[in-house]
Structure formats: C-alpha cells, structure tokens
Amino acid sequence: MSGARWHEALSRMLARMDQTGRSVTRGFPHFADPETGIWTTSPAGDWTGGFWNAMCWLAARSTGEARYRRWAEQWTDWLRPRAHSDTVFRGFLFYYGAVTGALLLSSSLAREVALAGARGLASSYNPRTEALPLGSEAEEASDVGKGEANVDTVQGGALLLWAFRETGDPALHEIAVRHARRHIEFCVRADGSICQSASFDPETGRMLRRYTHKGIRDDSTWARAQAWGIIGYTHMFQWEREPRFLEVAGRAADWWLAHAPQDRVAFWDFDDPAIPHTNRDTSATAIVAAALLKLAELAPSEAKRREYRHAAEETAEALVRDYLTPAGLLTHGCYNKKVGLATRHELIWGSYYLFESLHVLAGALNPTEI
C-alpha cells in the first residue's frame, strides 16, 4: 500500500475515535457490535481500558488536536483507582493507558498515574515463584485459581522497566526481568509456539503443567497467546537489551509467519480442525503487525529486518483491505470463542494495535517509541 493509503486508513480510524469519544461518556470502550458500532463498556477499564487511552495519546501527538489530549487525560485520570486493583493486567492498563502519554507528550499526569500503577503491580510480586501472580481481580482468576501464569502478563515487565528508568528503583528492574524469564519456562515451547498458561506451586514456584486456557485444546496454540508472546518479549527487549528476550520474540514471530494463513489474518486458534470454516481474530493479527514493525527495527540482521517489515506491511494491508470498515471499525476480532463472547466484533485492543501500526507505516511514529 502507498503512504496515501495508510493515511486514509488512519483517517477512518480517527473518525471512529471521534464517534467513540462523543458517545462513550461512562466507562471504557471494551468491544463493539460491528453492525451498529455501539460499544459495550467496562466501568473501571477491566484489562482493556488502557488501549483506548493509548489511542487518544497517540492521536493527540500525531494530529495536535486538543480534544484527543483532553480525552486522554480524562480517561487516564479515571485509571487512578486501578493502581490498587489486584490484577497482573495492570501491566496493560498502565503501560498503554499512561506510559504512552508520558513517552509521547511528556504528560506529568500520565507519568504520575503510570508510576502509581507500576508500584502497585510490583507490590504483588512473589519472590518464591519469581512471578507476578494473576491476582484475584484478573479475568482468568475466577476460572483457574491463583497458582497460574499467563503469557499475556509478560507485558507487565515493560511497565516496570519504564518505571525503573524513571525512578532508579532496582527492585522494579529485578521483578520485571525475573518475571519475563520465568514465563519463558512457563509458556514458550521449543518450536517457538506459545502455550497460553501454566500452573505452578505458589510456595515453591515449581511448574506443574502447561495448558491453553482459552484455546480449543489444552495443547493448542491460541492465536492471541502467540501474539501476546511476540509483543511481550519484543517489548522486554526494547526496554532491557537481554539477548534472550529478542531470541524468544524472534522465534515466536517466525513460528507465526510460518503458520499464519496465506492472507496473513490468523484464525482464532491455529489448531481448530474447522479451519477455514471458523473465526478469524483480527485483534491477534493486529498485535503481531505492531510487534513485527518493532522487530523490523530490533532484529540482529538486515535480512530479518527486511523480512519482518515486509510481513508487517502485508499484514496491516490485509487488515485494512478486508476488515476495516469505511466507518473505521476493525471487525472480526474474536474475544473468547470458548464462551461465545464477542467473536466477530471490534475489540479495543485490536483497534489500538492497528492504529499504532498505521502510524508507523505512515511515517508518523518510530515503532520503538512506545
């Protein structure tokens, strides 16, 4: 696609943001009906609220329009109470919801809120297991219990590493790195595929089993788990240049590229026997597009950097061409196929990662800025 096409897609998504900012007056956008565009909101942000904030921070930086900064500050301020919520997914909430504003616009409000979130997250660390627990308020906690690990949580390390740079507190650095290293053992298979979850003994840290909580089978590769692994370890290397993190991110990205459909848009689970007659997941695909653009800057060889950039461009083009509506909705995100929740919908995190990717492709953002 040409630069003009990336800008045109961005314009569609900005129009959708304007509609969202005017219509959502309480709570945080969570997922939307693709036919009506009406958002189901989460009162306190659930695990996804930060992605809407990040879209606003990014739009404020790229357009200079005051309304986007106003919305970003408003919703970021609404995140303050979540610093004390018992969930590891504060990593998503405060990295995207607040750190983005500190990085892109030097917002003192965003910095203050992000540091509160980082300190709250770090306070939950279990040194015996060298991991941040899911927490009683995490989405999966009611289903799978406390002695569990999710690859989704690696992203929390980026929040802590940013906070370490801001404060110099070495405990934040240690927690982030140990947590990410531990989840390589918990969730990364030898072939580079990602297992979503693992059970461990919360007293000793001994891993008891691996399984895929939201996938079609315990041993399947759920597309969003693979995507979270790629972006999580890419972010960890971006903030902490430990070669092992880049190696894991690269292996996971290579696995994705080897197993994704020819049109680049993943099915919800790579092992669903109903493929191709099953759900796509544009949200997982958008996560990977953003991660590939980062890897195109970070990969150790020119050949890999070119490969990742080409794959990212083709992936983003497929999403824009086939799934981004004229009104700027990214359709066919599959939230939770196992329980039938929002399986063909606009998902706020999918929209965010496509929005970030389009900024990079349009030349408005360096992929490693956020």
Sheet containing 28-32, strands listed edge to edge, beginning at the edge strand earlier in sequence: 39-42, 28-32, 346-347
Q: What are the residues facing 126 on neighbouring strands? A: 131
Q: Considering only CA atoms, which of 199, 193, 206 is closest in space to residue 130?
A: 206
Average the pLDDT over 147-170 and give the result: 96
Give pLDDT, residue 225.
98
Average the pLDDT over 97-126 and give the result: 98
Average the pLDDT over 213-240 and give the result: 97
The mean pLDDT value of the chain amounts to: 96
pLDDT higher than 90, residue 146: no
Q: What are the residues facing 150 on neighbouring strands? A: 197
Encode pLDDT of 265-279 as tens digits. 999 999 999 999 999
Tokens of 144: 């799978």
pLDDT higher than 70, residue 141: no
Give pLDDT, residue 107.
98
Query: Burial, 347: exposed, middle or buried (Cβ in 10 Å; 0-12, 13-18, 19+)?
Result: buried
pLDDT higher than 60, residue 187: yes
Q: Considering only CA atoms, which of 215, 246, 220, 216 is closest in space to residue 233?
A: 246
With beta carbons less than 8 A apart as the criterion, state whether 110 and 124 touch: no
CA distance 370 to 351: 16
Task: Please report which confidence band the pLDDT of residue 1 belongs to, taking 50, 70 and 90 as the band edges.
Answer: low
Give pLDDT, residue 140.
66
Give pLDDT, residue 3.
82
Q: Over pLDDT 90: what percentage of the chain?
A: 93
CA distance 185 to 21: 41
Name 112's Cβ contacts closer than 8 Å, sequence gap at least 6: none
Domains of the chain as residue ranges with CATH: 3-361 (1.50.10.10)
pLDDT higher than 70, residue 367: yes
Give pLDDT, residue 137.
86
Give pLDDT, residue 142.
52
pTM of the prediction? 0.97
Encode pLDDT of 310-353 as tens digits. 999 999 999 999 999 999 999 999 999 999 999 999 999 999 99
With beta carbons less than 8 A apart as the criterion, state whether 349 and 287 touch: yes
pLDDT higher than 90, residue 309: yes
Tokens of 164: 């370490």
